[in-house]
A = this chain, B = another copy of it.
Amino acid sequence: MLHFDTDYMEGAHPAVMNRLMETNLEQTVGYGNDAYTAEAKRKIKKACGLPEEARVHFLVGGTQTNATVIDALLARHEGVLAAETAHINVHESGAIEASGHKVLVLPHQEGKLKAEDVKHYIDEFYRDETYEHMVAPGMVYISQPTEYGTTYTLAELKALSTVCHEAHIPLYMDGARLGYALAAEGNDVTLPDIARLCDVFYIGGTKVGALFGEAVVAAHPDRLPHFFPLIKQHGALLAKGRLQGVQFDTLFTDGLYEKLGRHAIRLAMKLKEAFRAKGYEIHIDSPTNQQFFRLPNEQIDRLAHYATFELWGPRGTESTVVRFVTSWATREEAVDELISHL
């Protein structure tokens, strides 16, 4: 059976595992104060074009990272602006609200926020005479790529950044699958662009080659004050902090992170072209590792003999949208075999 359900079905890239094995019995101090972590931070800052005084913090998983960063960025009377489809609004079991903050929802276009919608929301908010009885928009959350596999262009990201900075609120990017956005077809947004335009963002490891781990990056050292105790308070501090250090050090050595992204994208595009060539409907023309097709139900049932994949929403009467996901670990033979069954 082939598996295209999601991008966290395997462990870590062999280079990462080997490095964990090599360093396994070394003794280091805890909580990320070790040399591996320092080196990983150095490499990430370099890849982001950031100076030494920028800040990198390692957390364990995505929901946790979103909850911790958002809690750090918001004052008590503020909420976070996000697309209605945002992971924090739908699939994090209320972790944002459990920290006391409201998610202020905006419409989306295939998962993306538009700068003008953000601006309009903020403008209208402060024009309302009762605004002090309402939750103030205190930051903007986006993800790159989005839940729909789509990506922001550099122009779109600049526009969002401008709106946020004019409103004096931070822009935060969830990069759970960032490696796949950086390698996406037609992508014109680099890590240094993101580091310059977003106040805080994270580089996802869990879905891009690591066993687990997310790297939170803030260009300005004062953007996340007292973030260490907040990481601890949110239960996001790993005793053996060097585990993320070793993993991200490996991922950011010799361009491995970029290579993993490119691999997944190449296979995703191959898959998309094959579906397209067979005449199937591309539901969302995603340039990243998540591909959405509308398939006749009989075709879904037939493919289910060879592969696992997700229905994207409830099953329709005649056809249904499905999602196929590739990753750094996807084997080309698996893709070819799947294609042979289309």
Asked if B132 contacts A92 (CB within 8 A), the reply is no
Residue of B nearest to A14 (CB): B24
What is the distance, in angstroms, from A74's C-beta to the closest C-beta of chain B?
10
B237 with A61: CB separation less than 8 A: yes
The listed residue with most B CB atoms (<10 A of its CB), out of A65, A91, A135, A207, is: A135
Tell which of B24, B94, B225, B240 touches A233, judged by Cβ atoms closer than 8 Å: B94
Q: Which residues of B contact A9 (CB under 8 A)?
A: 27-30
Which chain A residues in 311-342 approach chain B with CB under 8 Å?
314, 329
In the assembled complex, the CB of A141 is this many whole angstroms from the nearest CB of chain B, namely 15
Taking the closest CB of chain B, its distance from the CB of A126, in whole angstroms, is: 12
Residues of B within 8 A of A240 (CB): 8, 11, 206, 211-212
Q: With the chains together, A9 CA to B30 CA distance in Å?
A: 6
Interface-centre pick from A90, A127, A134, A233 (highest chain B CB count, 10 A) = A233
Contact with B along A86-101 (1 / 0, CB 8 A): 0000111111011111
Binds B, one of A15-23, A43-51, A148-156, A252-260: A15-23
Q: Confirm or deny: A218 has a beta carbon within 8 angstroms of a beta carbon on chain B.
A: no
With contacts A60-B60, A98-B76 taken as known, whether A93 is within 8 angstroms of B8 at the C-beta atoms is: no
Main SS at interface, chain A: loop
Q: What is the minimal beta-carbon distance from A140 to any residue of chain B, in angstroms?
A: 17
The contact string, 1 if C-beta is below 8 Å from chain B, for chain A 56-92, is 0000111111011001100111010000000000111
- A329 vs B134: C-alpha distance when bound (angstroms): 28
B29 and A11 within 8 A (CB): no
Copy count, this protein chain: 4
**A62 CB to closest chain B CB, in angstroms?**
8
A236 touches B238 (CB 8 A): no
Query: What is the total number of residues of chain A having a CB less than 8 Å from a CB of chain B?
Result: 77
Contact, CB under 8 Å: A243 / B92? no
The 8 Å CB contact of A132, one of B21, B23, B229, is: B229
State the CA gap A63–B23 with chains docked (Å). 25
B21 touches A21 (CB 8 A): yes
**A10 interface residue (CB < 8 Å to B):** yes
**Distance of A14 from chain B, by nearest CB (Å):** 7
A233 touching B64 in the complex, CB below 8 Å, given contacts A11-B243, A133-B92, A238-B212: no
Contacts of A168 in B (CB 8 A): none
- Point out residues on A near B: beta carbons under 8 Å: 3, 5-6, 8-12, 14, 17, 20-21, 23-30, 60-65, 67-68, 71-72, 75-77, 79, 90-95, 97-103, 105, 124, 127, 130, 132-136, 206-207, 211-212, 225-226, 228-230, 232-240, 243, 314, 329
29 example contacts (A-B, Cβ-Cβ < 8 A) are as follows A8-B30, A9-B30, A10-B24, A10-B27, A11-B23, A11-B24, A11-B26, A12-B24, A25-B329, A60-B60, A60-B61, A61-B237, A63-B232, A63-B237, A64-B235, A75-B225, A77-B226, A77-B230, A91-B134, A93-B134, A93-B135, A94-B135, A95-B235, A98-B100, A98-B234, A99-B100, A132-B229, A133-B229, A212-B243
What would 12 more interface pairs be, CB under 8 Å, given A17-B24, A68-B235, A76-B226?
Answer: A10-B25, A61-B239, A63-B235, A63-B237, A64-B235, A75-B226, A79-B97, A94-B100, A94-B101, A95-B233, A132-B232, A135-B229
